[in-house]
Amino acid sequence: MTSPGEFELIQRHVLKSLSGERDGYDRFACADAGVELGPGDDGALLVPTPGHRLVVSTDTSNVDVHFPADAPAHAIGHRALAVNLSDLAAMGATPRWFTLALTLPEADTAWVDAFAEGLHALAHRHGIALVGGDITRGPLSIAITVMGEVPIGQALMRHGGADGDHLLLTGPLGGANAGLKAWQRGERDCKTSALAAYLYPVPRTRLGERLRTCANAAIDLSDGLWADLSHLCRASGLGAELSVPDSAYAPSLASLDANERSQAFWHGGDDYELLVSVAPARLGEAHQAAAALGHELIYIGKLSAHTNAIDGGPDNPGGWRHFGETS
Amino acid sequence: MTSPGEFELIQRHVLKSLSGERDGYDRFACADAGVELGPGDDGALLVPTPGHRLVVSTDTSNVDVHFPADAPAHAIGHRALAVNLSDLAAMGATPRWFTLALTLPEADTAWVDAFAEGLHALAHRHGIALVGGDITRGPLSIAITVMGEVPIGQALMRHGGADGDHLLLTGPLGGANAGLKAWQRGERDCKTSALAAYLYPVPRTRLGERLRTCANAAIDLSDGLWADLSHLCRASGLGAELSVPDSAYAPSLASLDANERSQAFWHGGDDYELLVSVAPARLGEAHQAAAALGHELIYIGKLSAHTNAIDGGPDNPGGWRHFGETS
């Protein structure tokens, strides 16, 4: 073993920063979170909850593809975990554990500290524990695998939608896309609602947990409403009849022209709200569950067996087609 | 949704290739492997085995860092999963599920097909099912998270070593390093034992499962014997007294001079054999377990409370130090 090189030093720094050793708080000590053995060995030892299914999802965030190279490190850490937590939310799962594969180009300790803070602040809020990681050298890339749990039989899936189900959004859409455009125009005040919507999406995990007992199907809105609604319709074998109210559009879209506004709403993506389908008989329960968490579900239409298309979508849906034609 | 771009096409191809759709075999259909819902939704739904702990590990393989850019795609797929399976082996865990975060630079379908074949041939042999993935654009990088299971109380950990335990290797070392050097010299016949040792390491998962009931501690040899033995000693709070036989050196090292040979054996890494510590009373059981799988465990010394160093290591260990001094 030769004397530690520069990259070995940054690996140690990342581990210290991620473990909270820097600020005197051991983020890895999570006995109450079902962690029998945390990072540091060849693998972590975790305690699954009896009567539950394990829910697993993975999402990668690459520089210049999924976020701008000059985005704040704190936001990159937040966002990389948020997009994964959103997948657990869409399954109705309770977040438990995650692993981090972090590829770093250089030894920038200030960047690493801010990244770790953004990541852990979100992890702490959602009760998910970092149980393993690998820090390698290369172009900036963050691959996270999240694990959650859901009681047997309660997972929300895309294929569960039924004819007549109401289609509901957990929040207005298009704000993240407006934020991305603001960033590209040079705006840098991350406290504006538009930039925050893009850089700091809020995964709807608690809402997903509440809705798992009353919704039939769910999907998270990462690729844009048009694409993700198409996924849900295809999986459920149904079409949709939409009637989208103004309240479904993010307020930050108000200043755009009609075409940009429609584009951001239907195709912008990155909002990480949920789209859920709820049977008419369970609507009261769903709205109450949302209200208990301070949310208002937005009705945008119904699933329908009378069409195999999505009616009431954008006037000009670009490469529009019956969802059955997409693979 | 616009018409699919080139990268969307490659994503679909990767999914088809990984799912086995190309060769008419649905690799995702794994009901017998505890998969209630495979890839295609926001997350997979998995069925943990009662009475077991979940074991999780993650390892990234980056081009030009962990493997040469011109290595065969088939070997890259094999190796990326093998290094992860080796971590499960070192914990004594039975492989169950894995996720794949694959970052690809371009739309090379032949490369993707060979990669998927290498990955799945190994996955099939070890009974591990691909349950989720994310295919993104960027410099070639493969981040895999593996999940395994181990009966409660039987996991092998680095800190379990006891004074007097025999230190045993599951196979000779140095061969992978000799293979890497052969590749760098321009050798390309992957069937030679040296190149195969580097490109196609064999994770010792079945042996790890057998040894979990008779070994006290284990670690996989990814960083080299010196570094990994140091980890095990430090975790167990013990030193080691070594007496390494010639049979511990890979045959392919025979042609090297003494210095290169020592370097490859102690520091080469990438062999992915296991180092286990076994109490004298359990040696018969351990050797029988290995013999049942066609292995011979190689004795290289003992753990010792009489020293806080590793005695009997390389004559010139480079940046040698008491393991207590490394962080």
Question: DSSP states of A209-232 as a string?
Answer: HHHTTT-SEEEE-SS-HHHHHHHH
The Cα–Cα gap between A199 and A197 comes to: 6
Contacts with B146 (C-beta within 8 Å, 6 or more apart), sequence order: A43, B56, B57, B58, B81, B84, B85, B87, B88, B95, B97, B98, B128
Contact A230 B1 (CB under 8 A): yes
Residues of chain B with Cβ-Cβ distance to A57 below 8 Å are 42-44, 99, 132
Residue B15: pLDDT above 80?
no
**DSSP letter at B159?**
G
Residues in chain B: 327
Contact B317 A1 (CB under 8 A): yes
Nearest CA to CA, how far is B148 from chain A (Å)?
Answer: 9
List, in sequence order, every residue forming a beta bridge with A134; answer none if it has no partner.
Answer: A101
Residue pair A323/A233 in contact by the 8 Å Cβ criterion: yes
Q: What pLDDT does A319 receive? A: 40
Lowest mean pLDDT among A191-205, A263-277, B279-293: A191-205
- Residues B92-143 pLDDT 10s: 999 999 999 999 987 688 999 999 999 999 999 999 999 998 998 888 999 9
Residues of chain A with Cβ-Cβ distance to B58 below 8 Å are 99-101, 132-134, 145
Whether residue B87 is annotated as binding a ligand: the answer is yes
Residues of chain A with Cβ-Cβ distance to B42 below 8 Å are 57, 86-88, 90-91, 158, 218-220
Contacts with B151 (C-beta within 8 Å, 6 or more apart), sequence order: B51, B52, B53
Contact A132 B317 (CB under 8 A): no
Domain ranges across chain A: 6-151, 158-325
- Residues A304-315 pLDDT 10s: 999 999 999 987
Nearest CA to CA, how far is B149 from chain A (Å)?
Answer: 9
Residues of chain A with Cβ-Cβ distance to B53 below 8 Å are 36, 45-48
ipTM of the assembly? 0.91
Contacts with B255 (C-beta within 8 Å, 6 or more apart), sequence order: none
Domain A6-151 listed as CATH 3.60.15.10: no
Q: What pLDDT does B315 receive? A: 73
Nearest CA to CA, how far is A56 from chain B (Å)?
Answer: 5
Whether residue A271 is annotated as binding a ligand: the answer is no
Which residue type, as a one-letter code, is found at position A29? Answer: A
> Which of B47, B54, B143 lies at the smallest CB-CB distance from A101?
B143
Query: Which residue is closest to A135 within chain B, CA to CA?
Result: B60
List, in sequence order, every residue forming a beta bridge with A240; answer none if it has no partner.
Answer: A303, A310
Query: Which residue is closest to B16 within chain A, CA to CA?
Result: A327
Residue B39: pLDDT above 50?
yes
Contact A1 B46 (CB under 8 A): no
Contact B103 A141 (CB under 8 A): yes
Residue pair A168/A50 in contact by the 8 Å Cβ criterion: no
Query: Quick one: angle between helices A109-126 and A73-91, nearest 10?
Result: 30
Chain mean pLDDT for chain B:
89
Residue pair B57/A42 in contact by the 8 Å Cβ criterion: yes
Terminal Cα distance for chain A, rounded: 51
Q: What pLDDT does B5 receive? A: 67
Residue B314: pLDDT above 80?
yes
Contact A137 B45 (CB under 8 A): no
Whether residue A59 is annotated as binding a ligand: the answer is yes
Nearest CA to CA, how far is A224 from chain B (Å)?
Answer: 9
Contact B66 A136 (CB under 8 A): yes
Q: What pLDDT does A21 receive? A: 55
- Residues B229-275 pLDDT 10s: 999 999 999 999 999 999 999 999 998 999 999 999 999 999 999 99
Terminal Cα distance for chain B, rounded: 51
DSSP three-state, residue B137: strand
CATH superfamily of the domain spanning B158-325: PurM-like C-terminal domain (3.90.650.10)
Report residue A170 as tokens. 């957990």
Contact A48 B47 (CB under 8 A): no
